[in-house]
Structure 1
Amino acid sequence: MSDEDYKDVPRKNSEVRGLAAQLRSFYGVAGAEHIDVLDCASRSEIWTVKGVKPLRLEVVSDDKMAGNAGLTSYDGRTIVIQISRRIRHDAFLGDGYARNTIAHELGHAVMHFEKLSAGAVMARKTNRNVTPKWISAYESAEHHARVFAPAFLINDAIARTLNSVDEISVRFGVSRQSAEIYFEDVRSERDRAASAAYVRRIADETIRSMSPKPSTPTPSFMNDCCSVCSQQTVFSVGHKFMCKTCNTIYDRFQDGDLAE
């Protein structure tokens, strides 16, 4: 079985971000601006879609990782996340790529326990994993983890007040690539909301335009004819009288004569 990528249950990006928010809450950092991702990965337990599971972080030699930036597996009892000493050192110093790598592996632990328990090894390649063309983005375990990592590291409420990828990258200590994933995802969400509002407005206007207009009641004409145009189209308007044909207004109309 290849460890480049795995086909998993379909998940929308919004669902993945929701799972990242749940892990934030589980670790008690839901409202934190800066996440200590090393501390989170060093906890003894992790919340997953299959319940709370034992967790162990292992820091190994760079040579042992053999082209992998991070690696997640299951030993039958515990979810094991392995990172190299270099990644651990860089993450401690706040390097965005290293922090993102650890959050990426936490995402695999949260979302892909079934695959891990079946023997899969989720490895984040140093030179980016290759996803087969037959695996769509929503079913790609690697795509899930790439969306999960910035969602876990970034405070959504604060990030939505920022206007650029670079601001997000610097503010939350994430790689620029992760910041781009997050920024584009949020922008797409905003565009969809704006598009939905536009379609709703056009639909409402169309419905209103097709609705029958209230009819204007036809006035009740008097038996007398208008003394100006001789048409029998005189009707009362309050205390006065008006001819619908020529628009003449009378102070009073009696016995067919216009009063002074």
Structure 2
Amino acid sequence: MQVTFLGTGTSQGVPVIGCACAVCRSVDYRDKRLRVSVHLQVRGKSIVIDSGPDFRQQALREQINHLDALVFTHEHKDHTGGLDDIRAYNFRQQQDMPLHAEPRVLAQLKQEYAYIFAEHKYPGIPQVKLHPILNDQDVFQVEGVGFQPIRALHYKLPVLGFRVGNFTYLTDANHLGPEALEQMRGSEVIVLNALRHEKHISHFTLREAVDILEDLAPTRAYLTHISHQLGRHREVEAQLPDFIRLAYDGLRISC
């Protein structure tokens, strides 16, 4: 499996509009972070987890010319705001785009993208096929690829992470129960969110994320959903255990 980090930033991205902090003014390309998303190439399938507002830019940058399915972790706009841009794949592939998400998330998409689901459809709108994730315990199939849901809390909002083979991806969370931790254990690669150093109501801090990863002890780990408050990439990464790295936009790994 090849994993490409399409975006590794928080909901505002980095740099933040109007901010003149050292991170937002950095010339290091690793400090330029679009909204969080990953692209999986596995068993001949092309799958994206979360299509945020920067999805079009990300897909062009990484030359994602074919897409088999979208999977959503939750309904927040920084994870769903690029859904309209699947039109290019509809036209190119001449088929509906499978969307996998919990029923609550699909209901939110129906509300925010009402024109996609209207009875009388405008020509050229996105064409989708909905696949509800009905049980957060059972492996479900995305174009023949098994996804194990991992339940987490994003403040009080239930969200999902996913384990695909030996790769586990979890973003936008600040609580993992014992069962979720056991589902993650044994992964070769784990991606976990780490927003900043200071305590936050809905995201893991850097210290919290590192503590979890040291307990789970994957071969490799990457931190994502990073804000400008965390600090410059090169300075933060220098303080991390050797097996934990900061992800950055465009990073490509194999697992």
TM-score under structure 1 normalisation? 0.26
Choose between structure 1 and 2: higher helix proportion: 1
Higher relative strand content:
2
User: Which structure has the larger Rg over C-alpha atoms?
Assistant: 1
